[in-house]
Amino acid sequence: MRCRSFVALFFISGTVIQPALAQLTPSTLGLQISATPAQSSTTDLGGQDANKEGSQRDREEQTRNERQRDEQSDARQRAEVPQSASQWLAELQNIITNANFQVSFVQTVAGKETIPYLWRHGIMDDGSELEQLNLQNGPGRELIRVNDVVSVFEPDVQPYSLRSKHINGPIPSALLYHPEQLIEGYEFVAVGRARVAGRSAQQIRIVSRDNTRFGYQLWLDESSGMLLKLNMLDLQGGLLEQIQVTAFAISQSPAEYFSRINSASLPPPMALSNAPARAHNWDVTYLPTGMREIKQDTRRLALTGQVVEYKLFSDGLVDVSVYVQPADDALGETLALRNEVSTFLTLTDGSAQVTVVGEIPLQTANAIANSLRPVNN
Amino acid sequence: MTQQQEKLSAFMDGEIEGNDIIDAIKNDEALQAKWKRYHVYRGAMRKEVSVAPQLDITASVAAALESEPAIVAPKRSRWSSIPLIGNVVPFAKQSGQFAVAASVAVAVIFGVQYTNQDSPAEPFMTAPTIAPQGGLAPVSLEQTRMLPRNDMNEVLEKKRKINALIADHEQQIKLKQAQEEEIETSEQQRP
């Protein structure tokens, strides 16, 4: 609730600062609300100097002119650019799926060094789809996707491949490729125009419907639909993480780099064991809206060999892990750790230990951890 | 050989580009090992060491897990719920704590890969530090031993357990997409 009023404030102040911009881009959800006070205030100003009859006529004329102008610009806009947030996201999906592009962007997480990435995509002559994501600093980390196989090259690990239609990079792939999957958990609101990376951009706000997760602001290039900037915000509106495009190019032909990739020399995709796991005798009874279970299993932790029962939840933008262990083997105490983005919360009742890890507010992690109930199989 | 090492180093720094060196690495096992080691060193120096996805672990221990006793499900009434408002602020204030845990995670993983043993006497510090940029040497074992703490082992053990969970979470996210894909495919195959 507090967040909503804050958001409303943001809208109003945005209108005051940029009334001209607001009138140029009508009929988005946010602007329909905010454009009204801006128009009425201009009308009032005009009426102050003139006498009553004159001002009445003036006002009518002005309103009529304004309506005509709005309709004209409406028609023009409709033909040229998408209107709603979902249309803009469809534009984004379209360009990153079908275009040959090269994007340089940096990722900044509060309190950490900025990480630069190079992201390329190409459709080859034979119709195959190639994508590359390269971490540009240090020894790097390179991910190459050929159709639905992603090969990962990391400095300290044997190269390996996974079967996946998307590269799992710093930009959530659900936002890029399946924005429709996010509708259940998040609300998308087109805010209006802005200038990002030297280009005209459309801003979209993404807020979780039940206000239990962090929010996002997204800027898309107005002419191409390409992503220009993505902010992750905490519940108070503070910046947690930022992705900022520094340069991008869309070309007719795929980058020359892709022609050098020999897909036969990439490691073959691994088969992940999909053995049906023994059902846990506990379940999570509270989940934020739109979040669903991705998987569950019982296994040993790689670092300590402890046995854990594990469930992974995701809403497309954030992933949450829930671990249950016997308390004597685990930490054996109640503890919460936070950094800027992630929460690590562990609770114990003396016999079992529940741990929740993920990029969610502490309150949400606590609600999930406290919603565990025994299940009788 | 020395010439190739130099080339390798230059290639890693992005100073030269070329298929010669790539071919050389592909054909020479010693060079491959060197290539890997260099990257680990550099990664560690820049705090970029990532979690090694030990992917076969699920398969190999699946059988062993079957014989494990089931974990008793927690009962609601016994949970001590955290009073939220009271706790959020202090946690935010000591946000360094999690950063320590995360950086320790890096140290632990590093140690495991290197010494292949995970004894609690890992060479890392308990106090939050700003990582030195550039070529400063990593913290040595001696420095750790001089820290006057009696409950050192206990503290380290706790951190190790926390880090094991954080590292596992990160690994699961890395594998998530592939997993989803497999499920999709297997569902499609079913009529």
Per-residue pLDDT of B143-181, as tens digits, reads: 444 445 566 777 788 888 888 899 899 888 888 766 665
Angle between helices B96-115 and B152-189 (to 10 degrees): 80
Mean pLDDT confidence for A138-143: 89
Comparison of pLDDT for B43 and A83, the residue scoring more: A83
Q: What is the mean pLDDT of chain A?
A: 80
Nearest chain A residue to B74, by CA: A352
The H or E element spanning position B3 is helix B2-12
pLDDT digits (tens, 9 = 90+) for A218-255: 999 999 999 999 999 988 888 999 999 999 999 999 98
Nearest C-alpha of chain B: how many angstroms from A14?
Answer: 30
Task: Kindly state the greatest CA–CA separation across chain A.
Answer: 85
Residue A234 in contact with residue A240, Cβ under 8 Å?
yes
Residue A316 in contact with residue A181, Cβ under 8 Å?
yes
Q: Which of residues 92 through 111 in chain A touch B, CB cutoff 8 A?
A: 111
Chain B residues whose CB is inside 8 A of the A157 CB are 50, 52-53
Among A49-63, A85-99, A171-185, B18-32, the range scoring the smallest mean pLDDT is A49-63
Above 60 in pLDDT, residue A23?
no
Nearest chain B residue to A350, by CA: B78
Candidates A188, A96, A244, A165; CA nearest to B177 is: A165
Nearest chain A residue to B160, by CA: A304
3-state secondary structure string across A143-202: EEEECCEEEEECCCCCCEEEECCCCCCCCCHHHHHCHHHHCCCEEEEEEEEEEECCEEEE
Q: Are B80 and A349 within 8 A, CB to CB?
A: yes
Q: pTM higher than 0.80, yes or no? A: no
Task: Read off the tokens for A38.
Answer: 């801006």
Model pLDDT, residue A188: 94
Among A127-136, A158-167, B41-50, the range scoring the smallest mean pLDDT is B41-50
Residue of B50, B177, B180 with shortest CB distance to A154: B50
Q: Does A264 touch chain B (CB under 8 A)?
A: no
Helix (H, G, I), strand (E, B) or coil at A253: coil
For testing contact with chain B, the best of A338, A355, A356 (most B CBs within 10 A): A338
Model pLDDT, residue A212: 92
Model pLDDT, residue A81: 59
Beta strands in chain A (DSSP E): 100-109, 115-123, 129-135, 142-146, 149-153, 160-163, 186-196, 199-208, 215-221, 227-233, 239-251, 282-284, 292-300, 307-314, 319-326, 335-338, 343-348, 352-358, 372-374
For testing contact with chain A, the best of B51, B165, B166 (most A CBs within 10 A): B165
Confidence of residue A29 (pLDDT cuts 50, 70, 90): very low
What are the φ and ψ backbone dihedral angles of A152, each rounded to 5 degrees?
Answer: -115, 125
What's the alpha-carbon Rg for chain B, to the nearest Å? 22
Comparison of pLDDT for A136 and A58, the residue scoring more: A136
Most confident of A202-206, A280-284, B17-21, B57-61: A202-206
Above 50 in pLDDT, residue B140?
no
Torsion, CA A8, CA A12, CA A13, CA A19, rounded to 10: 150
For testing contact with chain B, the best of A257, A303, A359, A372 (most B CBs within 10 A): A303
Strand ranges of the sheet holding A352-358, from the earlier edge strand across to the other edge: A292-300, A307-314, A319-326, A352-358, A343-348, A335-338
Task: Read off the tokens for B109.
Answer: 């993983």
Chain A residues whose CB is inside 8 A of the B165 CB are 301, 308, 321, 323, 344, 346, 355, 357
Q: Are B98 and A168 within 8 A, CB to CB?
A: no
Residue A361 in contact with residue A345, Cβ under 8 Å?
no
Mean pLDDT confidence for A179-184: 90
| Strand A239-251 with A282-284, pairing | unpaired
CB atoms within 10 A of CB A167: 20
> CB within 8 A of A119, min separation 6: which ones?
A102, A103, A104, A105, A131, A132, A133, A134, A169
Q: Are A370 and B173 within 8 A, CB to CB?
A: no
Above 70 in pLDDT, residue A31?
no
Chain A residues whose CB is inside 8 A of the B72 CB are 326, 351-352
Model pLDDT, residue A14: 39
pLDDT digits (tens, 9 = 90+) for B48-101: 444 443 334 344 444 444 544 445 444 443 333 444 333 333 333 334 444 444
Model pLDDT, residue A3: 42
Confidence of residue B22 (pLDDT cuts 50, 70, 90): confident
Mean pLDDT confidence for A54-83: 54
Read off the amino acid at residue A302.
Answer: A
Task: Read off the tokens for B72.
Answer: 């008793």
Chain B residues whose CB is inside 8 A of the A162 CB are 175, 177-178, 181
Chain position carrying tokens 């004209």: A72
What are the φ and ψ backbone dihedral angles of A234, each rounded to 5 degrees?
Answer: -80, 180
CB atoms within 10 A of CB B59: 13
Torsion, CA B19, CA B22, CA B23, CA B25, rounded to 10: 160
Above 70 in pLDDT, residue A20?
no
Mean pLDDT confidence for A365-374: 91
Nearest C-alpha of chain B: how many angstroms from A197?
Answer: 27
Above 60 in pLDDT, residue A122?
yes
Comparison of pLDDT for A58 and B27, the residue scoring more: B27
Model pLDDT, residue A291: 93
What are the φ and ψ backbone dihedral angles of A325, each rounded to 5 degrees?
Answer: -135, 160
Residue A25 burial by Cβ neighbours in a 10 Å radius (0-12, 13-18, 19+): buried
Comparison of pLDDT for B46 and A75, the residue scoring more: B46
A162 has which bridge partners?
A150
What are the φ and ψ backbone dihedral angles of A135, each rounded to 5 degrees?
Answer: -80, 125
CB atoms within 10 A of CB A196: 18
Residue B88 burial by Cβ neighbours in a 10 Å radius (0-12, 13-18, 19+): middle
Mean pLDDT confidence for B37-50: 58
Model pLDDT, residue A338: 80
Q: Are B39 and A139 within 8 A, CB to CB?
A: yes
Q: Does A285 touch chain B (CB under 8 A)?
A: no
Measured between alpha carbons, how far apart are the two ends of chain A, in Å? 39
Residue A312 in contact with residue A321, Cβ under 8 Å?
yes
| Strand A307-314 with A319-326, pairing | antiparallel
Q: Which of residues 173 through 192 in chain A touch B, CB cutoff 8 A?
A: 173
Read out DSSP for A348-374? E-SSEEEEEEESS-HHHHHHHHTTEEE
Chain B residues whose CB is inside 8 A of the A282 CB are 71, 73-74
Q: What is the mean pLDDT of chain B?
A: 56
| Interface predicted TM-score (ipTM) of this complex, two decimals | 0.73
Mean pLDDT confidence for A323-349: 84
Residue A57 burial by Cβ neighbours in a 10 Å radius (0-12, 13-18, 19+): exposed
Q: Does A374 touch chain B (CB under 8 A)?
A: yes
Q: Does A336 touch chain B (CB under 8 A)?
A: yes
For testing contact with chain A, the best of B26, B41, B48, B156 (most A CBs within 10 A): B48
Comparison of pLDDT for A318 and B35, the residue scoring more: A318
> CB within 8 A of B111, min separation 6: which ones?
B117, B118, B122, B123
Cα–Cα distances in angstroms (integers) from residue A279 to residues A283, A309, B51, in the given order: 10, 9, 28
Chain B residues whose CB is inside 8 A of the A342 CB are 98
Q: Which of residues 49 through 68 in chain A touch B, CB cutoff 8 A?
A: none
